[in-house]
């Protein structure tokens, strides 16, 4: 780890423990498989990715009651949070390899892919802001509802207001809710809505590209699980394309469009809805930003990046074997290509092309490799097709689950109204984008 050589030996057991716990969780989750049950006209699917994040959360929350070898203490929790980014790059590489072969059909989708972005960034406010004001939340509602509250949103609010402001507490609430509960919530919601059969699955896939890798993975996985193999592949393609678009242009969209619009809407709605709100929330002193900003493992060395990719890839290979019955030997060439794609994209960024984030370079490399007409594109698509995106999602959400306990004290200070607001904002970004995509597709 850069700048953290001192004491590294004492941290090593926590890192090894994290990988072993992730492996155990993936094996259990994939072995359980998918369990579905009816809820009214729809269906809830409890997939391996849901079991993964729930089991990780149990190991994290109850770590002090567990034997030391299986306890996920604070060091393990922080390291799990840090591993989310490198692990997500493997999924992004896989999605890029999927998108490349289907790029002509993605381009042919035209306006639906472009305009669904408006749903992602205005849906959060439309669904979340009125309810927040009715629940008695004040300016925290701006930070909690102008976006899904990922890292770029934290940076925007931090620069404009500061994270110790009311708006800062709101965006931190959205960030923490999305980190701890977002993947499970959006996965269950997307699966339920998909089971109603009222939306085109490709429109739902575009709605899943919310700008968060883990949430996109959970939502698209729940949608794909209810489709034929061919449609499931298209779901992964369009979710990945939409998520890439949200990630790349999203910062500018939220800064210049959705945040100013949310501020304006707050000024219009507050005198009306605020007056009839359930209660006046005492929000001073809420979050201090510590849960987001004090990760001791934030800076990774190159060696740690490579180890993270390698171990996660191995765990995903085993999960792919258990969940999708593909022999490890058959899937190994495809995983090697995913691994290499990730490394090449990362290297391009590290060589100085930092005007675009790593996720873009990894996606671009994957798309180039499988674009129709490129040498060996068909063979690469065939090899990497033996790896299910869901097999890469399960270890990612295990890391997310293993990191949740560190954020629980912050949740106790937030109170339930702002968490409800965050859920509605997350639902709004998915439903809003799906509605727009559906309109343009039909």
Neighbours of 287 (CB within 10 A): 25
Q: Give the sign of the dihedral formed by CA 409, CA 125, CA 195, CA 109.
A: negative
Q: Which residue carries 């959006």 as its tokens?
A: 186
Q: How much is the pTM?
A: 0.70
Please state, in angstroms and rounded to a whole number, the distance separating the CA atoms of residues 82 and 86. Answer: 8
Q: What is the pLDDT of residue 402?
A: 85
Please state, in angstroms and rounded to a whole number, the distance separating the CA atoms of residues 401 and 389. Answer: 19
How far is residue 218 from each of residues 191, 353, 374, measured CA to CA in Å?
Answer: 9, 30, 31
Task: Tell how many helices (H) and how many strands (E) occur in the chain.
Answer: 21, 2
Cβ(405)–Cβ(77) under 8 Å?
yes
Dihedral, CA of residue 141, residue 143, residue 144 and residue 145, to nearest 10: 80
Q: What is the pLDDT of residue 399?
A: 86
Please state, in angstroms and rounded to a whole number, the distance separating the CA atoms of residues 138 and 270. Answer: 8
Cβ(362)–Cβ(72) under 8 Å?
no
Q: What is the pLDDT of residue 296?
A: 56
Any residues with CB less than 8 A from the CB of 355 and at least 6 apart, and which? none
Element (H, E) at 45: strand 42-46
DSSP-based helix, strand, coil % in the chain, nearest 5: 75, 0, 20
User: Which DSSP symbol is given to 255?
Assistant: I
Neighbours of 139 (CB within 10 A): 18
Please state, in angstroms and rounded to a whole number, the distance separating the CA atoms of residues 132 and 121. Answer: 17
Length of the chain, please? 442
202: Cα separation from own chain's centroid? 19
Dihedral, CA of residue 386, residue 390, residue 391 and residue 396, to nearest 10: 140
Q: Which residue carries 């701006």 as its tokens?
A: 142
User: Which DSSP symbol is given to 35?
Assistant: E
Q: What is the pLDDT of residue 42?
A: 63
Cβ(193)–Cβ(42) under 8 Å?
yes
∠ CA 311-316-317, rounded to 5°: 100
Q: What is the mean pLDDT of each run of 10 residues along the chain (442 residues)?
A: 38 76 94 79 74 86 74 75 82 83 71 77 88 87 85 70 75 73 85 92 91 80 89 88 73 79 92 70 44 55 89 96 94 96 92 78 89 91 90 86 74 76 91 90 74
18: Cα separation from own chain's centroid? 20
Rg for the chain (alpha carbons), in Å?
21
Q: By three-state DSSP, how is residue 85 classified?
A: helix
Please state, in angstroms and rounded to a whole number, the distance separating the CA atoms of residues 413 and 408. Answer: 9
């Amino acid at each position: 780890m850069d700048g953290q050589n001192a004491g590294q030996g004492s941290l090593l057991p926590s890192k090894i423990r994290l990988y072993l716990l992730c492996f155990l969780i993936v094996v259990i989750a994939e072995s359980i498989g998918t369990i579905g049950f009816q809820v009214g006209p729809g269906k809830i699917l409890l997939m391996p990715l849901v079991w993964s994040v729930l089991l990780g959360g149990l190991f994290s929350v109850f770590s002090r009651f567990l034997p030391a070898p299986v306890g996920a203490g604070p060091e393990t929790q922080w390291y799990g949070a840090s591993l989310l980014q490198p692990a997500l790059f493997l999924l992004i590489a896989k999605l890029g390899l999927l998108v490349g072969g289907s790029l002509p059909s993605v381009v042919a989708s035209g306006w639906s892919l472009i305009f669904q972005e408006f749903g992602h960034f205005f849906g959060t406010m439309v669904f979340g802001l009125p309810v927040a004001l009715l629940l008695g939340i004040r300016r925290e509602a701006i930070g909690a509802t102008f976006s899904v509250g990922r890292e770029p949103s934290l940076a925007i609010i931090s620069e404009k207001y500061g994270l110790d402001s009311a708006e800062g507490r709101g965006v931190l609430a959205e960030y923490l809710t999305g980190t701890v509960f977002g993947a499970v919530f959006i996965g269950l919601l997307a699966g339920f809505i998909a089971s109603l059969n009222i939306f085109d699955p490709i429109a739902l896939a575009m709605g899943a590209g919310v700008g968060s890798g883990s949430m996109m993975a959970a939502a698209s996985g729940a949608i794909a699980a209810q489709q034929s193999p061919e449609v499931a592949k298209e779901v992964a393609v369009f979710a990945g394309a939409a998520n890439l678009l949200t990630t790349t242009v999203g910062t500018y969209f939220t800064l210049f469009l959705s945040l100013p619009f949310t501020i304006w809407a707050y000024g219009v709605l507050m005198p009306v809805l605020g007056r009839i709100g359930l209660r006046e929330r005492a929000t001073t002193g809420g979050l201090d930003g510590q849960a987001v900003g004090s990760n001791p493992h934030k800076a990774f060395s190159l060696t740690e990046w490579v180890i993270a990719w390698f171990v996660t890839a191995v765990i995903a290979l085993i999960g792919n074997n258990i969940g999708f019955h593909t022999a490890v030997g058959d899937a190994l060439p495809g995983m090697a290509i995913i691994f290499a794609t990730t490394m090449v994209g990362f290297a391009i960024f590290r060589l100085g092309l930092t005007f675009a984030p790593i996720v873009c370079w990894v996606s671009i490399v994957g798309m180039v490799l499988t674009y129709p007409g490129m040498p060996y594109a068909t063979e690469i698509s065939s090899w990497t097709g033996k790896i299910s995106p869901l097999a890469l999602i399960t270890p990612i959400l295990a890391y997310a689950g293993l990191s949740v306990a560190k954020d629980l004290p912050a949740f106790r200070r937030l109170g339930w109204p702002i968490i409800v607001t965050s859920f509605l904002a997350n639902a709004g970004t998915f439903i809003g984008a799906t509605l727009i995509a559906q309109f343009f597709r039909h």
